[in-house]
């Protein structure tokens, strides 16, 4: 009898373990600006709470403005491991099993990295969740600092491009510090690394040929570190790969952007935000219809896989006071978009089951899964319905 009990207990445990394994990897971008322990954030947000300051004082700066939202979890310090433990539990419990950290490197040093290094990587439950890096290599202008954001791009504070020496420094550091973490996200054993602005990378490194050589070196270093290869991913914009100097494009290739991606050595792609290829001052359903068309277009145009992306919304008013605004982006419509992404992947059985979402916490762009006083847990529950409950 005792032996039977042990067997049944083991089977029940195995069953729970199997149930916990998701068929799909649901990856939410995480914007790491909501931290209280990074002194490099204070020039932009002097109160010491990161970009929560922009959320918190929106009504003070713009009295009576329609944008008036508040986080149900409070203005938490996401670089605190105790806070991140709570967020990991909430994310995984609702079906988000990967965080894609926006990762920054400016002026020879990391920027906004403490949410990852002090928060996520020190969380006791970190092994519940995978993570990978998206190198947010854009220029830093005035838009983070609401005191001067009205001046737009007239003042570049930091440039996102790096030369070859700096690039090698970045890559070696990331391989040792992050790729070797046991919960770093991999596809077929290959650590995934995304580059946000390919054109900025090319311009900084010294041109297309220099970029090709640098990325080949990066791949070789990853293999030297013991991995089978690198999964090099790029963030698709409507303007990405529209770049001169590509032989295949000059020769009249039927797929010039695909030829460009393969020349540089990229393995896959996704989007970061619908606003990168769709005008967002529209009804959410119209935006989704155009996004679905774009998925199909990219699938036909490229020989490397596209991982479908779903954005929750867009409204940059907290930073600018005025913005294009997505209308009627309810949790129910978001849920329908997730079902569409799931079905799109199911129709392509050879494609890895990865879906990206904008985002976990882009509060100042009004595209976040975290619960607020408008929809509560609606967006998180939408993910749960599609990827956990079913």
Element (H, E) at 288: helix 284-301
First to last CA, the chain: 35
Alpha helix (H) ranges present in 141-281? 164-174, 198-205, 208-224, 247-250, 256-264
- Report pLDDT digits (tens) over 125-162: 999 999 999 999 999 988 888 888 776 666 889 999 99
- Report pLDDT digits (tens) over 305-346: 999 999 999 999 999 888 999 999 999 999 999 999 999 999
The pLDDT assigned to 240 comes to 72
The pLDDT assigned to 42 comes to 94
Fold of 23-389: TIM Barrel (3.20.20)
For the record, the structure tokens of 201 come out as: 């990378």
CB-side neighbour CA atoms (13 Å) of 6: 3
- Report pLDDT digits (tens) over 258-296: 999 999 999 999 999 999 999 999 999 999 999 999 999
Residue ranges of the domains in the chain? 23-389
Ramachandran sector of residue 370 (left: φ over 0; alpha: ψ -120 to 50; beta: rest): beta
- Report pLDDT digits (tens) over 12-44: 433 334 345 679 999 999 999 999 989 999 999
The residue behind tokens 């040929």 is 209
pTM beyond cutoff 0.75: yes
- CA-to-CA distance for 202 and 209, rounded, in angstroms? 9
The alpha-carbon radius of gyration of the chain (Å, integer) is 21
Contact 157, 104 (CB under 8 A): no
The pLDDT assigned to 242 comes to 61
Q: Which residues of 212-248 are buried (b: 16+ CB within 10 A; e: fewer)?
A: eebbeebbebbeeeebebbbbbbbbbeebbebeebeb
SS (H, E, C) 156-180: CCECCCCCHHHHHHHHHHHHHHHHC
The pLDDT assigned to 253 comes to 62
């Amino acid at each position: 009898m005792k032996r039977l009990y042990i067997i049944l207990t083991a089977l029940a445990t195995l069953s729970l373990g199997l149930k916990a394994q998701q068929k799909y990897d649901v990856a939410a971008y995480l914007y790491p600006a909501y931290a209280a322990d990074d002194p490099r954030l204070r020039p932009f947000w002097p109160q010491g709470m990161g970009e929560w300051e922009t959320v918190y004082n929106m009504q003070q700066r713009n009295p009576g403005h329609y944008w008036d939202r508040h986080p149900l979890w409070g203005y938490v310090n996401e670089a605190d491991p105790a806070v991140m433990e709570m967020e990991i539990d909430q994310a995984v419990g609702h079906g988000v099993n990967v965080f894609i950290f926006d990762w920054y490197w400016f002026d020879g040093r990391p920027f906004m990295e403490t949410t990852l290094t002090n928060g996520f990587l020190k969380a006791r439950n970190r092994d519940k969740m995978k993570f990978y890096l998206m190198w947010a290599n854009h220029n830093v202008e005035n838009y983070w600092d609401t005191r001067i954001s009205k001046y737009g791009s007239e003042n570049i504070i930091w440039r996102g491009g790096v030369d070859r020496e700096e690039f090698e420094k970045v890559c070696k550091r990331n391989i040792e510090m992050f790729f070797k973490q046991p919960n770093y996200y991999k596809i077929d054993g290959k650590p995934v690394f995304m580059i946000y602005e390919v054109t900025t990378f090319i311009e900084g490194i010294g041109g297309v040929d220099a970029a090709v050589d640098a990325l080949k070196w990066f791949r070789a270093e990853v293999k030297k570190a013991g991995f089978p290869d690198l999964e090099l991913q790029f963030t698709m914009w409507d303007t990405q790969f529209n770049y001169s100097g590509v032989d295949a494009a000059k020769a009249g290739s039927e797929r010039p952007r695909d030829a460009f991606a393969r020349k540089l050595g990229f393995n896959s792609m996704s989007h970061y935000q619908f606003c990168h290829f769709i005008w967002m001052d529209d009804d959410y359903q119209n935006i989704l219809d155009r996004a679905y068309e774009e998925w199909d277009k990219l699938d036909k145009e490229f020989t490397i896989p596209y991982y479908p992306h779903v954005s929750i919304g867009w409204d940059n008013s907290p930073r600018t006071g005025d913005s294009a605004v997505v209308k009627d982006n309810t949790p129910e419509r978001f849920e329908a978009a997730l079902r569409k992404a799931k079905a799109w992947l199911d129709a392509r059985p050879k494609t890895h089951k990865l879906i990206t979402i904008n985002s976990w916490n882009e509060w100042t762009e009004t595209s976040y899964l975290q619960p607020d006083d408008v929809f509560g847990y609606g967006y998180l529950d939408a993910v749960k319905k599609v990827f956990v409950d079913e």
